[in-house]
């Protein structure tokens, strides 16, 4: 009898997963179900498809979506162009981890405060707010999310591969293109995912750094819910979720290919 009681009271790994499951249920699954249900309800909670007509029938909504995707692609490209050389250099020096920490420290400050501070700097310098300042704010906010996975991946590359390539007579450019770059593809894909997905769904940055001139998809979702258009806002949220899932699917597919390239190098 004592042994049975002891077995019932014994903590297992499954027990520690219950709080996480409860958290996912309350703050992920239920909100997603509510969004899906609201997409098919009108203001009087009657089933309707008018919300879909309002969204897909309005050219302005599709234009805002296209602009958001364009800003996301440009921001991701700029973060990769800037972040890869920085991560590569930092992976070569002993104090690289400390410098990476300095890049991450601003992330502990709320992004709205950072954006307002950036706006104040632009105004003090007399810079006209517009698309250029919005892209700067996007890159400023999301560049650390590109540098971190790249630095981790580049720092973890086995130096023996580079030494072997050099022993075979490869110059620095060939070593980088044939060895370092293929082995860092997983970090590149992680950085792209961590930058592109939040960029296309972000809000407030475009409004603050353009004085309301530029309106992105995240801002449209926020405005729809503020105006009580829960059905339209839910559809826009679903559309954004679909783009997130598609992005993850594409990145995972490329990641599998990069792992195959890595195995071939081994």
The model's pLDDT over 213-222, given as tens digits with 9 standing for 90+, comes to 888 888 888 8
CA–CA gap between residue 151 and residue 190 (Å, rounded): 11
Is 78 a member of any domain?
yes
Which residue has better confidence, 171 or 8? 171
- Give the range among 1-5, 63-67, 221-225 with minimum mean pLDDT: 1-5
Residue 16 resides in a domain: no
The verdict on residue 141 lying in a domain is yes
Query: Does residue 39 lie in a domain region?
Result: no
Q: Per the domain annotation, does 230 fall within a domain?
A: yes
Average pLDDT of the segment spanning 128-142: 93
Q: Tell me the average pLDDT across 107-132.
A: 90
Residue 28 in any domain: the answer is no
Collapsing DSSP to helix, strand or coil, 47 comes out as strand
Cβ burial, residue 107 (10 Å; 0-12/13-18/19+): middle
Encoded tokens for 1? 């009898």
Tell me if residue 39 falls in helix, strand or coil: coil
- What does the pLDDT read at residue 13? 72
In this structure, what token pair is assigned to residue 176?
A: 């980088």
Stronger pLDDT, 5 or 75, i.e. the higher one: 75
Structural domain includes residue 128: yes
Confidence band, pLDDT 50/70/90 cuts, at residue 158: confident
Q: Is residue 192 part of a domain?
A: yes
When the pLDDT of each residue in the chain is averaged and rounded to a whole number, the result is: 85
Number of domains in the chain: 1
| 134 confidence band (pLDDT: 50, 70, 90) | very high
Q: Ranked by mean pLDDT, which of 71-80, 209-218, 224-233, 253-262 comes out on top?
A: 71-80
Dump pLDDT digits (tens) for 10-35.
667 777 788 888 999 998 899 999 99
Measured distance CA(21)–CA(29) in Å, rounded: 10
Q: Which residues contact 97 (CB under 8 A, 6 or more apart)?
A: 90, 151
CATH number at 141 reads: 1.10.3720.10
Give the domain range for residue 185. Answer: 59-265
User: Treating both helix axes as pointing N-terminal to C-terminal, what angle do 230-265 and 59-92 enclose, rounded to 10 degrees?
Assistant: 30
pTM tops 0.85: no
């Amino acid at each position: 009898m004592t042994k049975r009681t002891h077995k019932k009271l014994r903590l297992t790994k499954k027990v520690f997963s219950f709080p996480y499951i409860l958290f996912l249920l309350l703050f992920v699954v239920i909100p997603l179900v509510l969004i899906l249900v609201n997409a098919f309800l009108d203001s009087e909670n009657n089933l309707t498809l008018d919300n879909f007509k309002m969204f897909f029938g309005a050219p302005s909504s599709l234009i805002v979506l296209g602009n958001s995707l364009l800003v996301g692609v440009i921001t991701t490209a700029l973060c990769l162009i800037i972040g890869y050389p920085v991560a590569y250099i930092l992976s070569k020096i002993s104090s690289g981890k400390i410098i990476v920490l300095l890049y991450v420290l601003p992330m502990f400050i709320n992004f709205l405060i950072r954006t307002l501070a950036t706006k104040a700097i632009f105004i003090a310098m007399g810079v006209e707010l517009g698309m250029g300042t919005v892209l700067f704010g996007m890159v400023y906010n999301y560049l650390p999310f590109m540098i971190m996975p790249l630095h981790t991946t580049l720092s973890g590359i086995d130096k023996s591969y580079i030494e072997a390539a050099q022993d075979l007579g490869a110059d620095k450019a060939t070593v980088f293109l044939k060895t370092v770059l293929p082995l860092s593809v997983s970090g590149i894909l992680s950085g792209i995912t961590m930058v592109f997905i939040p960029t296309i769904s972000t809000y407030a940055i475009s409004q603050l750094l353009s004085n309301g001139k530029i309106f992105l998809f995240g801002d449209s979702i926020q405005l729809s819910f503020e105006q009580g258009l829960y059905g339209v806002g839910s559809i826009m949220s679903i559309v954004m979720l679909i783009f997130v899932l598609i992005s993850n699917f594409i990145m995972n597919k490329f990641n599998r290919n990069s792992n195959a390239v890595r195995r071939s190098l081994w």
